[in-house]
Structure 1
């Protein structure tokens, strides 16, 4: 009998994987290189499994239960698609990250923050895992790419794991065994209401961000790794009025605004593209951002910026169109201007620090900082700070005013200081309660960073 995946021992799992490989080869031979429709593929797989089970019985082995045949069929189809033993992991809604350290060391990082070791390999050997990855890079990306000893590092968006797919990063040769990290994009339909319900936002932050999007403020969402930046940015995008032309520009299509055509029928989603195996065809974020401005956008939304393309993002957010948004890794909201200046040095040509500060002051209205806090039993992600970006100050850096500061006990964002009068007027026109920053509602420690008093 085929064991349940979570009850595998490595030897049993390897035996099943060999059966899957045998059946995959038999079905592939019958397909002859053609691409069948799903019903035809299901029929061929069912026929080969029936023949295989008859051979087992003829050899004196126990019959295979129907449930195990069904699981075997799913594994064969997954192997034919190139995902193999990864498919059942990508199908689990509770999985957030998958860490593979060699074919037989698999760890699942769950949405609640716990880590689960999976006692079944994803391939029969490290060699087979590398072959599977090589096939995936050749077949599943936008372009056919090489993953080999000569090109041992790569990233890929997988067409599995949910409507937005999943992002895979893999290395070989430079590590002792092949290592793979896969991130699933779970909360693809999350709205600000959903984030308020799950504790990411409190009511005052929810109200402020709703008004900020409606008022067309330029927002930069910041935070550390896996702090919820993309999820919050996606929720902010869902607040954009229905018939605005939104252009999203990303390394990987993680936002998924274009998938919800009922809520956002007018979206142009642009995805960067790596060079193919011949080194041609690369499209960078910088190139796409320049093209985006030629498409008459109402808003430009930029996925995570990691290097010199920060200059293109600042141009896109400061080109006169309102309501631009993006994400950036940063340790705190107040560290963002220096972080932008540092990334500007990676541009070609480098952006002078003075110009980076000037562009930051003109392009951004608010910085929304997210925090991730893990304990033994839980994981929390929440907005911890919102900062207004003002004009250049005496130090030739943008003045930052903390509007929402971390609560001393919970760390969650609490009202600390009202926005500057022009921004406050814009926000109130779009639904912000004028009493939100009343002294009785604010944190008791000053005005949160040198901004105007009430």
Structure 2
């Protein structure tokens, strides 16, 4: 059976012709090289000149929307993004997969996968040159991307206010492979997530109170399940007067970009080693440094390895209301996942100690799930559990608070939390009625 051919990407917005973009880029670059310093004015002037040339040649006029898109594409090309500029400028696009210069697929926020109609470079070699220059100048340290260093990752300042994450591989596969993740929802709130169906009113009220009460929260889920988006939304609930230290491999939370909402943020980003192999600053280094900055809260983008021990120390050190994300298949899998990552620490964290640290550092685990359906993609909060002391099984006791029943899309209450946790939530303004089982729903 032949596999269905994916449709071409079409969001109704004009896609600039790459040859036209390159022509205007060259003209603009020549003027900028001649010490005309206002890039915005130069590009706008060159696009206007191109439009006038079309009219003089008797060709149909272009719309203002085409001109605006063309101007943005030329700015991106001048920034060294080449054929990636138009892709990164598309609000609906969430993930970009490049499998060679002329085979590009995009995933939208709605869950569709389509083909991009233009090559992103003139050849695979040109694509590798583009990537090599990008990795050399993007980020806080120069990264080499060459046959000797065929794997590279970087965050670039394009694709939205939080930029985009680029992962690239060469030589280890048949053609260059590039994955680009756009951080679309830069300032999402819990209200926004309720509006798009990720959570309902009960969960919004519970999560808002959990932040206000200073609970230590761990957001878990699989790849692209929406962990970081939910963490951003939770951070919007933090009072403006609190000093928040964020610790990330790549800036994805963006609290430091919103000075009106978060005036007191210390945003720390890890740093890979430079081309000389020196200068690396790890997440573990940053977590240790974070506690020296007198934080009200420590928020960690994601932990993937032995730095889990530093996260547990940070959350258990008295700074209430810490939050972070972790890959896990379910909330119940989290203690074992933490114990496994603790084995990667230097020195390794004994499993028993990992369970005790987990029990003392965490209050609640919120597990999110991504659902790919024939009619599209959606994300939900699948379950919420309270983390209790280490029990008879030598692992932390986990008490389900909300879970998703069979055939349901949203989780429903299972029962109230412990009296201590319920009191903290009630003092923070939560109505205990959110834990009442809805009429007609049973377990």
TM-score using structure 2 length: 0.90
Match of 2:334 among 333, 336, 341: 336
SS at match of 1:283: coil
* Inter-partner Cα distance in structure 2 for 1:305 and 1:295: 20
Q: What is aligned with 2:373?
A: 375
Distance 1:246 1:399, change over 3 A: same
Match of 2:144 among 143, 146, 171: 146
* Inter-partner Cα distance in structure 2 for 1:33 and 1:444: 73
Distance 1:192 1:439, change over 3 A: closer
SS at match of 1:389: strand
Q: What is aligned with 2:180?
A: 182
* Inter-partner Cα distance in structure 2 for 1:246 and 1:105: 42
Pairing 1:192-341 to 2, within 5 Å after superposition = 192-341=190-339
Q: Quick check: 1:108–1:117 contact (8 Å CA) kept in 2?
A: yes
Q: CA deviation at 1:380?
A: 1.2
* Inter-partner Cα distance in structure 2 for 1:116 and 1:78: 22
Distance 1:210 1:39, change over 3 A: closer
Deviations 1:192-234 (A, max 9, x none): 1111111111122111111111100000000011111111111
Pairing 1:54-73 to 2, within 5 Å after superposition = none
* Inter-partner Cα distance in structure 2 for 1:441 and 1:417: 14
Q: CA deviation at 1:436?
A: 2.4
Q: What is aligned with 1:132?
A: 130
Pairing 1:85-164 to 2, within 5 Å after superposition = 85-164=83-162
Distance 1:69 1:359, change over 3 A: closer
Q: Quick check: 1:45–1:73 contact (8 Å CA) kept in 2?
A: no
Alignment RMSD, CA only?
Answer: 2.7
Q: Structure 2 regions of 5+ residues with no counterpart?
A: 1-7
How many residues are treated as equivalent by the alignment? 430
Between 1:271-280 and 1:32-41, the stretch displaced more is: 32-41
* Inter-partner Cα distance in structure 2 for 1:334 and 1:246: 28
Q: CA deviation at 1:27?
A: 4.7
SS at match of 1:435: helix
* Inter-partner Cα distance in structure 1 for 2:180 and 2:24: 27
Q: Quick check: 1:369–1:385 contact (8 Å CA) kept in 2?
A: yes
Q: Quick check: 2:18–2:118 contact (8 Å CA) kept in 1?
A: no
SS at match of 1:358: helix
Deviations 1:320-342 (A, max 9, x none): 11000000000000000000011
Q: CA deviation at 1:34?
A: 7.1
* Inter-partner Cα distance in structure 2 for 1:32 and 1:137: 23
Q: What is aligned with 1:448?
A: none
Deviations 1:368-420 (A, max 9, x none): 00011111111110001001000011121101111111122124211002100
Deviations 1:88-114 (A, max 9, x none): 111111111111111111111011111
Q: What is aligned with 2:436?
A: 438
Between 1:366-375 and 1:197-206, the stretch displaced more is: 197-206
Q: What is aligned with 1:395?
A: 393
Q: CA deviation at 1:65?
A: 5.5
* Inter-partner Cα distance in structure 2 for 1:263 and 1:101: 40
* Inter-partner Cα distance in structure 1 for 2:261 and 2:339: 36
Q: CA deviation at 1:72?
A: 5.7
* Inter-partner Cα distance in structure 1 for 2:154 and 2:226: 21
Q: Structure 1 regions of 5+ residues with no counterpart?
A: 8-12, 446-454
Q: Quick check: 1:133–1:147 contact (8 Å CA) kept in 2?
A: yes
* Inter-partner Cα distance in structure 2 for 1:429 and 1:292: 29
* Inter-partner Cα distance in structure 1 for 2:107 and 2:46: 32
Between 1:258-267 and 1:302-311, the stretch displaced more is: 258-267
Deviations 1:245-300 (A, max 9, x none): 01111111111111121111111111111112122221111111111000000000
SS at match of 1:89: helix
